[in-house]
Amino acid sequence: MNKSLKRLILFCGTAAMSMSALSAMQVSSNDISHGDFMAKAHEFNGFGCTGEDKSPQLSWSGAPEGTKAFAIMAYDPDAPTGSGWWHWQLVNIPLDVTSLPTDAGNPSGKNAPEGSLQIENDYGVAGFGGACPPQGDGAHRYQFTVHALSKKLDLNQSASGALVGYMVNAHTLDSATIESLYKR
């Protein structure tokens, strides 16, 4: 293979990777950072935890064409349950919403986007339930994933975490995750 052809292949591959990176969804937050520990404001208030139970501010961009709604899933894969722990499942966020304020997951629903639906978390509350790893269990990972959905989901507030996860994954066009840590 001649030098010019090798350069063209390398250029095309690099350009394709760059274009892919530009079109991929991204998520950010003013309250949490990827790989860093969350503040006590995001700790649950109950089960021996004494936090403020506030969901973090989240912003996202780069949703692909065909997106009809968004979903946010907050999950602790390190919970000692055998199946992790769902802290927040917010679905059917309108297409024109690309940012949520701190405490958007308040169970009162007053801070959630109009038309969205908060599903019962593993605490049994329809809204955000903060971090509350067992005392001395070490750092747990808290994954906040924003999903671009191909359609609004037909779910109700008491749908199981498994059903919501199935529906979200079945209709995800793209997603982005920010993972923070917490320990007590």
Write the CATH number for 110.
Answer: 3.90.280.10
Residue 8 domain-assigned? no
182 Cβ contact partners less than 8 Å away, ≥ 6 residues apart? 37, 38, 42, 43, 131, 133, 139, 140, 142
User: How far apart (Å, rounded) are the C-alpha atoms in residues 105 and 118?
Assistant: 8
Q: Dihedral of the CA atoms 89, 92, 95, 98 (nearest 10)?
A: -20
Residue 20 domain-assigned? no
Residue 36 domain-assigned? yes
pLDDT (tens digit per residue) in 89-135: 999 999 999 999 999 999 999 999 999 999 999 999 999 999 999 99
Q: What is the pLDDT along the chain (184 residues), one digit of tens a residue?
A: 555 434 433 344 433 333 444 449 999 999 999 999 999 999 999 999 999 999 999 999 999 999 999 999 999 999 999 999 999 999 999 999 999 999 999 999 999 999 999 999 999 999 999 999 999 999 999 999 999 999 999 999 999 999 999 999 999 999 999 999 999 9
**pTM for this one?**
0.87
The boundaries of the domain holding residue 66 are: 25-182
Residue 88 domain-assigned? yes
Q: Are strands 172-182 and 140-149 parallel, antiparallel or unpaired?
A: antiparallel
- How many domains is the chain partitioned into structurally? 1
- Residue 9 burial (C-beta neighbours within 10 Å; 0-12, 13-18, 19+): exposed
Residue 56 domain-assigned? yes
pLDDT at 1: 53
| Count, residues in the chain | 184
Residue 65 domain-assigned? yes
pLDDT at 16: 39
Residue 12 domain-assigned? no
Q: Which two tokens stand for residue 4?
A: 């010019």
